[in-house]
Structure 1
Amino acid sequence: MDVPTNVLLPGERLLWSGRPQRLVLARFDWYQFVFGLLWLIATIVVPVARHEPLSLFAWAVGVGGVAFVWVPVVVRLRERRGVEYVVTDRRIVLADRFSGRARASAYLGTLPPPVARIRQDGSGTIVFGRSSRASLTALSAPWSLMAIGLVAVPEAGRVRDLIAWAQAGQA
């Protein structure tokens, strides 16, 4: 794994790095996708099925609402495609695989304990605490990838244990 060395702070030790195995919709993404679909049905499909004429404003509200809900999901999927997850003895860093820049980071001491949702193939999503929201320092977008956790992580159980071990100060 090529780890961007410019994301490590002085004295920081790399524990693990990896990238998402596949592009998957996280739970929050599914909620947004379903809400957008319901919005589309309510504002455009139902009126068209009833043969009601739609004004330009009605089309704008329908299409604009769907775009407002779905565009962030598409942006997150695109961002996730180019991310490298880096776990150090102090932080979790989401780095850009291509430029090597850190996109977001969070100190392990500020995060709740990690929880992994593991799939049959061993990959999974790691969230922090009971909810998937984490306090973090976002370096790019306001809806950081870290807000929904580390998605499609290979060997999610092992990575979760490694993060918990580092949080306990054992690293």
Structure 2
Amino acid sequence: MNEPLIALEPGERLLWSGRPQRSAPTGLEWYRIVFGSVMVSGFAAALGLPAPVAAAILGTVGLAVVWGPVLWRLRTTRREVYAVTDQRVVVADRVSGRTRAYEYLSELEPPVVRRGEDGTGMLTLTRQDASVSVFGYSVPKRHQPPPIELHAVPDVDGLRELIVREQA
């Protein structure tokens, strides 16, 4: 267990801490990179701009729109540190020590796990009041904080069980 840079609240006990094992694009991000790059290249070629400078500017802006969000998520994920206490789940920046997100376990739905091929997984924690049921489907409410996602966690099933046990 790594020591996080996270300040615990009075009476709070650290149960688990860690950080992502790797930082790689997800399946949808790979699709965005490949499909977006092809679309930007095709769009720039279809316009047939006479000036190479204009085509280069359009291509650069287009690729920034496609690649930018993926690179930003990879950068922020690489710098994250996670902690699970007997009261909260906390995500912090391990470089600055700033807390990025936290939620109390009592306010969260049971964690959802997506397992990776390499044995790590992603744990998604959503607030109980973040969605409403409409015709049997869960629809997110407006102006709710996004779910907390713990990326590339080793032994993701063990961490899920730990959180479910503490929620009970």
Task: Bin the TM-score by the shorter chain.
Answer: 0.7 to 0.9
- Give matches, 1:1-171, under 5 Å: 1-6=2-7, 8-44=8-44, 46-47=45-46, 52-54=48-50, 59-128=56-125, 135-136=144-145, 149-168=149-168
User: Is 1:39–1:65's contact at 8 Å kept on the other side of the alignment?
Assistant: no
Higher strand share: 2
Higher helix share: 1
List runs of 5+ in structure 1 lacking aligned partners: 137-143
Letter in 2 for 1:4: L
SS of the residue aligned with 1:16?
Answer: strand
Measure, in 1, the Cα distance between the counterparts of 2:14 and 2:97. Answer: 15
Per the alignment, do residues 153 and 54 of structure 1 end up closer, same or farther by CA in structure 2, a change over 3 Å counting?
farther
Measure, in 1, the Cα distance between the counterparts of 2:30 and 2:6. Answer: 34
SS of the residue aligned with 2:151?
Answer: strand
- Aligned Cα RMSD in Å? 3.0
Measure, in 1, the Cα distance between the counterparts of 2:38 and 2:104. Answer: 38
Displacement of 1:108 = 2.3
User: Is 1:83–1:95's contact at 8 Å kept on the other side of the alignment?
Assistant: yes
Displacement of 1:111 = 2.7
User: Is 2:5–2:97's contact at 8 Å kept on the other side of the alignment?
Assistant: yes
- Choose 72-81 or 20-29, whichever is displaced more: 20-29
SS of the residue aligned with 2:74?
Answer: helix
Percentage identity across paired residues of the two chains:
43
Q: How high is the TM-score relative to the length of structure 2?
A: 0.73
Aligned pair count reads 153
